[in-house]
Structure 1
Amino acid sequence: MAGNVRRAAVFLAVCLAARAASAIQDGLLPNGNFEQAPPKSQLHGTRVMGRYAIPHWEISGFVEYIGSGQKQGDMLLPVPEGAYAVRLGNEASIQQRIALTRGAHYSITFSAARTCAQAEQLNVTVAPESDILPIQTVYTSSGWDSYSWAFEATGSVVSFIVHNPGVSEDPACGPLIDLFAIKTLPPPKSSKNNLLKNGDFEGGPYIFRNTPWGVLVPPMDEDDYSPLSPWMVQSSTKSVKYVDAPHHVVPHGARAVELVSGMETALVQDVVTVPGRPYRLEFSAGDAGNGCAGAMTVQAYAGRGSVRVPYQSQGKGGHTRGAIEFTAVANQTRVVFVSMAYNMKPEGTLCGPVVDDVSLVCTRKHAARRLLL
């Protein structure tokens, strides 16, 4: 009798902890790697039965607790880090309440892998913002990709929800998810030396130290807040990849963007300009030293100007510089980068050129100085 009372008290404490908001810091969300397991009494095989059975999370629908190396038929279900992950069946969801600073911007990074369904998606929500992230394209040989998503906190406590809208009749064909982390995004700033904001891409989503494949920034609507703010990704279903110096070769600083989806994806930023004034856009294009070899071409657009920068990659790192000089024709100029080729690594995963160290300056002062001399 006493043992039953003690177990009930422990389970009640877990429920209350799940309902309470967690004090947030940059890094892994509370039990963001799902290593804190549900009580065995709350598992029916792999299915999680209790709404608050997974510590710090609330679930709805058919949710499974998956161990590393577990099989589904002949298919091995991998886990990217640690021993456990979670699988969401059709219309299933998992959520966590987190304490934030109202009005601040945040990015969420998490890892996902599709299983037997082919066109899987995940709906991520922090009310009132909600987006569908396409996860059908696999960019790693392991099958796991890390995704990022950003939002503005409209309250001091928010509910972060991940929902599987369902594309398969079999609930056991839903996507696997793991490794949830959060990062505060400071407001990007321009300077007199660079009219672009975040031109070196140092401001971006959280990258896990033990995941060498970078973080995908998925396509977004123009009114969405970007994890690479104020850079946006324009595409129907494809992403760009945010890479770091510990795992890749980057031309400048600690971060860069790899254009992994060819002509299907554009990286863009709108910048304030003065019509009639001359400008110069400069950038680095190269490879990330990740085995992505072959002919690469980055096409850049700014105003009515454009340039193609070819780069012959050996897959070992390196870069070249490209530049455009143009005259602004509007109060706002869109800067665009596109990879003009589709590149693949030897194992068949998508890759592409990296873009970094992007700057935009008005050259009117420089022209005036030359005239005076």
Structure 2
Amino acid sequence: MKRKIEMVQSTGCVRLLLLVSVAAQSASAISYGLLPNGNFEEAPDESQMNGTRVTGRYAIPKWEISGFVEYIGSGQKQGDMLLPVPEGAYAVRQGNEASVRQRLALTPGMHYSVTFSATRTCAQSELLNITATPEIGEVPIQTVYTSSGWDSYSWAFKGKRSDVSLIVHNPGVTDDAACGPLIDSFGIKTLQSPPSTNDNLLENGGFEEGPYIFPNTSWGVLVPPMDEDDYSPLSPWTILGYTKSVKYVDAAHYAVPGGARAVELVSGMEAALVQEVSTVPGRSYRLEFSVGDAGDGCVGSLSVQAYASRGSVKVPYESQGTGGHSRASLEFTATSKRTRVVFVSMAYTMKPDGTLCGPVLDDALVVAIHSHRRFLL
């Protein structure tokens, strides 16, 4: 009888483990907002923990892990350093070669942007590999843009399948296997870039379409540089640079010249915002845009340099850090069928807390100048 009871209990445990495994591997069907347990507030069972280290592959609800993964509580210390958590009470730390993954149900052919928060712990320069099978990219976590030490990052991809694995992997190799970035708050958004029109040859010139911004965060979302073939969270705008980013900001927390979204050029000359438009060689065009400050305490002499074809203009803006903007323009003559429009901040500016900031850019448009209008002017 005892052996029979043990067999029944063993069978029950196996069934339970199988159910946990299936639940962890089922695809999440969500196209906007926080992913299931995206902020890691649903905790692992204590039986699958060794101190802070998570020992069970499916111990964190809705996630699958591999490698050295820690479950970190708010206020926890590493030596003399306090490990911050950006949202809620818990976050996850990834050691060398550690990964977390979650399966997503998507619409093939659609574009998506993933937003997540991260911070360094040990190393001075870290990066994360992000995969949405079969798409893969890199997000550098080097420069800190907030006084809290946390930043939100975005990464975009095209859904190639209806069921994909979102994988975040730390490829770092350090002396301490526990060293690695803290990650938290994963959200997703389906991207639908507004088309260009005769009134504006630029697409998404007002930056209204972009990565998901968590409503309870006040630090915006970084859009990091990308390879030429990557899809941008601000598509069709791309960010040219090596490791530096631009910041996507919302009207709920920043001063935005128009609409609900804008871009703050926070990395000086190390990150440029670029888009190519269709033009007719020999025809004249006008580029217009707004330059100001985001009302985030960024005080000083800000400036944006704009380029289009062979023309350029430098637009200075004296910021008091409380909001405001001015309108600028550049007339140019197209020399080819595709003209690259480029915006870059010409100065490195810091707020009193030592974090990087810069001019806010919004409401960019390119229109053709008709010959009779030029004559009348």
TM-score (norm 2): 0.95
Q: Deviations over 1:318-366 (max 9, x none)?
A: 01111100110000000000000000010100000000000000012xx
Displacement over 3 Å in runs of 4+? 1-12, 369-373
Residue 131 of structure 1 deviates from its aligned partner by 1.3
Aligned to 2:3: none
Pair 1:130–1:370, CA change in 2 (3 A): closer
Query: Equivalent of 2:230, from 216, 224, 241?
Result: 224
Work out whether residues 117 and 167 of structure 1, in 8 Å CA contact, stay in contact via their aligned partners in 2. no
- Structure 2: distance between partners of 1:370 and 1:61: 65
Residue 14 of structure 1 deviates from its aligned partner by 2.6
Work out whether residues 193 and 209 of structure 2, in 8 Å CA contact, stay in contact via their aligned partners in 1. no
Query: Equivalent of 2:303, from 287, 293, 297?
Result: 297
Q: Deviations over 1:27-72 (max 9, x none)?
A: 0011100011111111010111111111111111000011111111
- Structure 2: distance between partners of 1:209 and 1:5: 45
Aligned to 2:258: 252
Paired amino acid for 2:328: G
Paired amino acid for 1:190: S
Q: Deviations over 1:234-277 (max 9, x none)?
A: 00010000000000000000000000000111000011100000
Aligned to 2:276: 270
Q: What are the within-5 Å matches in structure 2 for residues 223-372 of structure 1?
A: 223-364=229-370, 367-369=371-373
Query: Equivalent of 2:115, from 97, 101, 109?
Result: 109
Residue 225 of structure 1 deviates from its aligned partner by 0.3
Pair 1:322–1:372, CA change in 2 (3 A): closer
Gaps of 5+ in 2: 1-5
Paired amino acid for 2:220: G
Match of 1:171, SS state, is coil
- Structure 2: distance between partners of 1:236 and 1:209: 29
Residue 104 of structure 1 deviates from its aligned partner by 0.4
Pair 1:196–1:86, CA change in 2 (3 A): same
Work out whether residues 188 and 229 of structure 1, in 8 Å CA contact, stay in contact via their aligned partners in 2. no
The number of equivalent residue pairs is: 371
Query: Equivalent of 1:150, from 137, 151, 156?
Result: 156
- Structure 2: distance between partners of 1:16 and 1:47: 23
- Structure 1: distance between partners of 2:121 and 2:162: 36
Work out whether residues 279 and 363 of structure 1, in 8 Å CA contact, stay in contact via their aligned partners in 2. yes
Work out whether residues 193 and 236 of structure 2, in 8 Å CA contact, stay in contact via their aligned partners in 1. no
Pair 1:371–1:289, CA change in 2 (3 A): closer
- Structure 2: distance between partners of 1:117 and 1:212: 26
- Structure 2: distance between partners of 1:310 and 1:265: 18
Paired amino acid for 2:372: A
- Structure 2: distance between partners of 1:324 and 1:77: 47
Match of 1:178, SS state, is strand
Q: Deviations over 1:297-327 (max 9, x none)?
A: 1000001110000000000000111110011
- Structure 1: distance between partners of 2:236 and 2:365: 14
Q: Deviations over 1:67-88 (max 9, x none)?
A: 1111111111111011110000
Paired amino acid for 2:98: A
What's the C-alpha RMSD, in Å, of the aligned pairs? 1.6
Match of 2:21, SS state, is helix
Match of 1:172, SS state, is coil
Residue 12 of structure 1 deviates from its aligned partner by 3.7
Work out whether residues 300 and 338 of structure 1, in 8 Å CA contact, stay in contact via their aligned partners in 2. yes
Percent identity over paired residues: 71
Pair 1:193–1:93, CA change in 2 (3 A): same
Match of 1:18, SS state, is helix
Pair 1:300–1:41, CA change in 2 (3 A): same
Residue 128 of structure 1 deviates from its aligned partner by 2.4
Gaps of 5+ in 1: none
Work out whether residues 54 and 69 of structure 2, in 8 Å CA contact, stay in contact via their aligned partners in 1. yes
TM-score (norm 1): 0.96
